[in-house]
Structure 1
């Protein structure tokens, strides 16, 4: 135990000196170091360097869908690395895993989504989509169709285009130079989209982008009929509809893809995260067959866009095996069933804990709002981070959303979670909320 403590202190010191953490407080990291240094994962649990075991209520970053410690994925990576770890996909070069994964994605995505451009993650997938839809309209002679309409509270990534599409103001405040031609409308008002199109002119708008369920913006679930109306508006005005399924894809919501809940098919779909369950980086842009065909027919010369690791052989081999696990173990249906258990647990807590406001979930993605029971509004200072800290002490990892007027605890456990583990999550959450409530 002494050796473990000494090693932890040593690693924390190195961490503070040399590791700049993404989406973290630089000051807090420098002063306090890492709250956890994880060394092992198994199922829905992580173990840190001191031996503490915690339930991962967020699948890390919404992405470890098949759970931790899957030897099948390690073996798929090893086998592919032994044969061909990587070769580039530029100049029409290809490899078998990339070809097979593209075909598999075309098979399982809804409607006529058909052709795949691989990236290394969700932010790259977003920026790629913006370039492709603008390129598409340019080839068709509509050179003014460049604007991308996104939504308030949307999160689309941190590349310059993806940051510009994101509808969360703190992400914009980090830089003084956002990309042009990005607009934002009310998150769930089809009428707001119509008004924006009328104001800007449909002839200037390339695409509308939306997450079927807003993730980092607070797990905001669309009202019935919203996406049907959005699809109709886009069709009426010859605007492409992009569905960002980076968080929701591959079973998270109890459907393979969340847009299936709303019976709509986008022109472009973006995926990442759950495509490999986080075991290796991979993302993709999937486009409709009609768009692909027109791009082929109208383009000349080279498509001057691509990443070094587009179609990475090992990543694609892991992606194939990951989808095989999701299908073989019926994890989409498990997400639907365990999602009901999760939501019922939220309702139990809501009835018992005064500071809990609205609760919501769709499959295994959910949220619990924190409110002042006297005013039914948000407390003057954020409370959700206190809940997260209490939960971590008790063995549960969750995330919080504390911007755009929200004070929310969010959840996205691995799709393999069972009833007993759901109950453990709910009990720790209840204890943490009651502890925080008592301290207010």
Structure 2
């Protein structure tokens, strides 16, 4: 087989060899990939299913990377992209240049977002979106004569991407430790401290809360607070009722901007079009990617309030010296427009909300049958549960037992893709299937999870 061409009759062993030789995988053990080659080589997808080169069919229980919201293999997406490529595959948005797909997408997003979040800047993905938000906000404060406002407060267990600033905002040590240096002026608060954010100084976690950090650092040094409405990569951690409202009020109190990272939660994942809608909160900046195109092509966006755009225009006539080659990519914008049309026409946001009850029902079954399962949770079509050696007392398994990883491996044997979260010694199993997933398919996912848990528990519980 020519190394540059994948022939119709695939030489699978040759593919594995080429993968090991030439491909550096993201978020993968390089050592294991060099020893074993790729875990799976997929060749096609349809609906919630992926097929590998051996013709084995897997349930995509994670929407690949939380992003294939409308499912795989949608011909409408192929047609939309093909048509746009035939008209105008690419055109730059620098120097004020524009085109109809980016204009129409910007307008469409403005009809969907809460409040006056009506102005979009486009990127190629979530990391770029958050990186852009940080730069834009710091520029905003500089133009307002408050250049000392540079600090960004994120939350422990929050995830915001892998570029330098996005990694620095991320509250997961494994991502920060990958590099020998991180960007300055990023701080991390203990997540979900509702009482503290409301002003309870008697709480032992007060100094580690957002409010406590603001008071320690000085509000006039804080540019923004960034949080996910629901923490995704950190373990599908859902905030307590009132928490997002408290953070919004806290930011208003001190004149700090609030960024909602909706890269995972945006476009229907939580059973609302945007995660913040679950709590009636309007941030100052909202970042998106993933579900905006369901992964059919790369696209992200930073959506800001009109008032911020107006202030930027009034405060400076200089060029906005920030932009990516693919900002407002016309083919990507056409894909996003078609994707949003599918989400709306097929009522996928409503379906996500309805399937939340099915996930919780299934998780309750797992909790009743399996003594290790606890802390079940779901919102829309994303859910998680945790595994404990002694769940009554929340005694964790030893990290060396690799419990969550073993459950995921057993699921893979049964052709179900789910994700382990093992940060800080946790053993969390997460699912986030496409928004087209139905009741029967949720049932199948639960059955496989139960089979996998049974195998692992037999090994652990003697």
The interval holding the TM-score normalised by the smaller chain is: over 0.9
| Cα shift readout 1:318-360 (whole Å, capped 9, x = no counterpart) | 0000000000000000000011101110111111001112110
**Structure 2: unaligned runs, 5 residues or longer:** 1-6, 197-208
**Structure 1: unaligned runs, 5 residues or longer:** none
Q: Could you say which residue in structure 2 is the equivalent of 1:243?
A: 260
Q: Could you say which residue in structure 2 is the equivalent of 1:401?
A: 421
Q: Could you say which residue in structure 2 is the equivalent of 1:262?
A: 279
Mapping of residues 336-375 of structure 1, within 5 Å: 336-373=353-390
1:378 equivalent in alignment to 2:396: yes
**CA contact 2:418–2:430 (8 Å) conserved in 1:** yes
In 1, Cα distance between equivalents of 2:348 and 2:395: 37
Mapping of residues 3-82 of structure 1, within 5 Å: 7-82=11-86
1:321 equivalent in alignment to 2:338: yes
Report the Cα offset of residue 404 of structure 1: 2.0
Report the Cα offset of residue 5 of structure 1: 10
Q: Could you say which residue in structure 1 is the equivalent of 2:91?
A: 87
In 1, Cα distance between equivalents of 2:338 and 2:14: 37
1:144 equivalent in alignment to 2:162: no
Q: Could you say which residue in structure 1 is the equivalent of 2:136?
A: 132
Mapping of residues 166-185 of structure 1, within 5 Å: 166-185=170-189
Residue 296 of structure 2, aligned match among 264, 279, 291? 279
**CA contact 2:68–2:291 (8 Å) conserved in 1:** yes
Q: Give the TM-score, by structure 2 length.
A: 0.93
Report the Cα offset of residue 304 of structure 1: 0.4
**CA contact 1:150–1:165 (8 Å) conserved in 2:** yes
Report the Cα offset of residue 7 of structure 1: 1.8
**CA contact 1:231–1:241 (8 Å) conserved in 2:** yes
Q: Give the TM-score, by structure 1 length.
A: 0.98
Report the Cα offset of residue 405 of structure 1: 3.0
Q: Could you say which residue in structure 2 is the equivalent of 1:215?
A: 232
Q: Could you say which residue in structure 1 is the equivalent of 2:317?
A: 300
Q: Could you say which residue in structure 2 is the equivalent of 1:435?
A: 455
Aligned-residue CA RMSD in angstroms?
1.2
In 2, Cα distance between equivalents of 1:259 and 1:210: 11
